[in-house]
């Protein structure tokens, strides 16, 4: 039920994001979702891709600083209050959310949201108990 997310350390210099994207393009890796967290001097680019192993290899070979993190992908009803309904069970299970971001594409009628939490397993079972669909990695990579 866990999804592999790839993070890349980027200095705030023009052209660095382009270089990451070029590197992935050369490796034939497709980006499914991404977000950037930034400070004044640097940023962290977070990616969900179709072929995580290939992406890790290509980026490390080109000497980018990369790491892998486990996140979860949840189907969220695409209507007012949809995200609140998903956050409810996590709050009750005392799961702390580090960050979230959304997929561009939808999964059927629902939006797809990526959660990075401290307690991954606890979060998955809380969401499943509340009746939400947590997508397995394979399914997410191939959307």
Partner 1 sequence: MSYFNPVEVLDRERLEELKLERLRNTVDRLYQTVPFYRKKLDEVGYSPGDIRSLEDLRHLPFTTKDDLRENYPFGLFAVPLRDIVRIHASSGTTGKPTVVGYTSSDIRTWADLVARTIVAAGGTKEDIVHVAYGYGLFTGGLGLHYGAELLGATVLPVSGGNTKRQVRLMVDFGSTILCCTPSYALNIAEVMEEMGMGKEDIRLKAGIFGAEPWSGEMRREIEERLGLSAHDIYGLSEVVGPGVSIECEEKNGLHIFEDCFIPEIIDPSTGEVLPPGQKGELVFTNINKEGMALLRYRTRDISRLIPEPCPCGRTHVRMERVTGRTDDMLIIRGVNVFPSQVEAVLMQIPGLSPHYQLVVDRVGSLDVLEVQVEVSPQIFSDEIKELEALQRRIADEIQSYLGIGVKVRLMEPRSIQRSEGKAVRVIDKRRI
Rounded to a whole number of angstroms, the minimum distance from the CB of residue 43 to partner 1 is 9
Rounded to a whole number of angstroms, the minimum distance from the CB of residue 81 to partner 1 is 29
Is 67 a binding residue for partner 1 by CB under 8 A? The answer is yes
Alpha carbons 22 and 117: distance in angstroms, whole number: 30
Alpha carbons 81 and 121: distance in angstroms, whole number: 24
On the 0-12 / 13-18 / 19+ scale of CB atoms within 10 A, 58 is buried
Rounded to a whole number of angstroms, the minimum distance from the CB of residue 5 to partner 1 is 7
Alpha carbons 130 and 86: distance in angstroms, whole number: 8
Residues 1, 3, 4, 5: which binds partner 1 (CB under 8 A)?
Answer: 5
Question: Measured between alpha carbons, how far is residue 104 from residues 10, 11, 40, 48, 58 in Å?
Answer: 23, 25, 27, 11, 24
| Bridge partners, residue 69, by sequence | 5
Site for partner 1 in 35-64 (CB under 8 A): 37, 39, 41-42, 44, 46, 60, 63-64
Q: Which is nearer to partner 1, 89 or 137 (CB)?
A: 137
Q: Which is nearer to partner 1, 30 or 60 (CB)?
A: 60
Q: What angle do CA 107, 27, 18 make, to 5 degrees?
A: 80
Q: Which is nearer to partner 1, 56 or 75 (CB)?
A: 56
Rounded to a whole number of angstroms, the minimum distance from the CB of residue 69 to partner 1 is 5
Binding site for partner 1 (CB under 8 A): 5, 7, 9-11, 16, 37, 39, 41-42, 44, 46, 60, 63-67, 69, 98-99, 116
């Amino acid at each position: 039920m866990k999804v592999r997310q790839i993070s890349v350390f980027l200095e705030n210099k023009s052209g660095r994001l382009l270089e990451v994207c070029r590197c992935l393009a050369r490796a034939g890796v497709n980006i499914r979702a991404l977000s950037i967290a930034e400070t004044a001097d640097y940023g962290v680019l977070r990616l969900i891709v179709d072929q995580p192993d290939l992406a890790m290899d290509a980026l490390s070979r080109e000497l980018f600083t990369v790491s892998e993190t486990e996140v979860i992908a949840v189907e969220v009803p695409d209507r007012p209050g949809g995200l609140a309904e998903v956050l409810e069970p996590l709050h009750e299970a005392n799961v702390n959310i580090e960050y979230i971001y959304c997929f561009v594409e939808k999964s059927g009628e629902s939006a797809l949201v990526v959660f990075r939490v401290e307690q991954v397993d606890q979060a998955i079972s809380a969401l499943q108990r509340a009746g939400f669909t947590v997508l397995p990695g394979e399914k997410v990579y191939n959307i």
